[in-house]
Chains A and B, each alone.
Chain A
Amino acid sequence: MTDTTLPYSAHGDPHHLRGLVDDALGHEGPAPKRIVTGYGFWLFLLSDIVMFSCFFASYAVLLGQTAGGPSGAQLFDLRNVAAETALLLLSSFTCGLASISVDLRNARWYQAAMAATCVLGLGFLALEFREFSDLVARGAGPTRSAFLSAFFTLVGCHGLHVSVGILWLLTMMAQVYAKGFRADIRRRLLCFALFWHALDIIWVAIFSVVYLVGSAV
């Protein structure tokens, strides 16, 4: 009894699947767990992006409300921002290399790419922390003006996301080391890669709107 018997009779189709497999080729059957997980995490990322859009809206509205304090053009160091951008962009690339090594089941390349991503992300956080402490030391902390409150909330929230991402990254390195490339671990890695790339997308909006437009106004 083979499944090549057509048309579907009780004889050739003992489990009453009636072309379920053919439908799956047209992607109408139940979706595999990997697709469902990726979709669910994508929905979370979109809700995160909607949250960020609220912070972006408040920053754009409060851009001119400096309350007599320093404006963006006086505060922002664009060379520092360019360095942060380069670090985050390269970390996104090494994260992509890690995803490829997962599909090749190459643990050594995976750990190397994840370690590189971690180092680049930590470099980004160090630069951001230095910038923030420098601003606070110059008397331009989040309490100085509505403009600076919006700035610290938006950029700080992104920095918080990067910090959480690095914690997740280290967890995933440990999980692959301990458990190997199991199906559930691979789904978590898929979600982590989506998260890390989405952080880079938000950073693109931040360096364009917050720093470049903010220092031009």
Chain B
Amino acid sequence: MSEQQVREFLEQHGVAPGDEEEVRAGPRLLGYITGLGLSILLTATSFFVAGTDLVWQPSIPVALSVLAIAQMGVHLVFFLHITTGPDNTNNVMALAFGLLIVVLVVGGSLWIMAHLNQNMAPMDQIMQMQR
């Protein structure tokens, strides 16, 4: 087996995210249809929860966040094909690192700014103190 043949062999047996080397269209089409159906369901639930009086009002932002995260998961699995397969390890590790940064930036900003708002005097008082 020459090196050229080895390269061809590797080309044929690797799988990248979003692009499975599979000629059968049926299962892949089913995957996209499942993803679309789940997304529509979750989106409709989000819009329903936001507009209804049936849910305890203070819980709505949390419910919307949970629904949004669930829908992002659906998109990652059914559309971007990020799976736990062995050839996807690098992608999943990169995703985990990205998520860490996102959580630090968003959660950290909200946390710090909420504390500043609580502990600082209102802005008009600060302006008077500077005079």
Query: Interface residues, chain A, CB within 8 Å of chain B?
Result: 3, 15, 17, 20-21, 24-27, 29-35, 37-39, 42-43, 46-47, 49-50, 53-54, 56-58, 60-61, 78, 82, 85, 89-90, 92-93, 96-97, 99-100, 103-104, 186, 190, 193-194, 197-198, 200-201, 204-205, 207-209, 212-213, 215-217
How many positions in chain B have a CB within 8 Å of any CB in the partner chain? 62
A3, A60, A208, A217: the one within 8 Å of B68 (CB): A208
Please report whether the interface of chain B is mostly helix, strand, loop or mixed according to DSSP.
helix
Closest to B9 in A: A21
Q: How far is the CB of A34 from chain B (nearest CB, A)?
A: 5
Q: How far is the CA of A212 from the CA of B49 in the complex (A)?
A: 9
- Complex interface residues of chain B between 66 and 85 (CB less than 8 A to chain A): 67-68, 71-72, 75-76, 79-80
Q: A24-B9, A78-B51 are in contact. Are A100 and B16 (CB under 8 A)?
A: no
Whether A57 contacts B10 by the Cβ 8 Å rule is no
Whether A29 contacts B18 by the Cβ 8 Å rule is no
Whether A197 contacts B91 by the Cβ 8 Å rule is no
Q: Mark B1-40, 1 if CB is under 8 A from A, else 0.
A: 1110010011101111111111101001100110110011
Q: A57-B110, A212-B64 are in contact. Are A35 and B28 (CB under 8 A)?
A: no
Whether A57 contacts B76 by the Cβ 8 Å rule is no
Query: Interface residues, chain B, CB within 8 Å of chain A?
Result: 1-3, 6, 9-11, 13-23, 25, 28-29, 32-33, 35-36, 39-40, 43, 46-47, 49-51, 57, 60-61, 64-65, 67-68, 71-72, 75-76, 79-80, 86-87, 90-91, 94-95, 97-98, 101-102, 105-106, 108-110, 113
Whether A103 contacts B21 by the Cβ 8 Å rule is yes
Closest to A47 in B: B98
Contacts of B20 in A (CB 8 A): 103
Whether B94 contacts A89 by the Cβ 8 Å rule is no
Closest to B39 in A: A89
Contacts of B71 in A (CB 8 A): 204
Whether B14 contacts A31 by the Cβ 8 Å rule is yes
Q: A89-B43, A100-B28, A204-B75 are in contact. Are A78 and B2 (CB under 8 A)?
A: no
Contacts of B3 in A (CB 8 A): 15
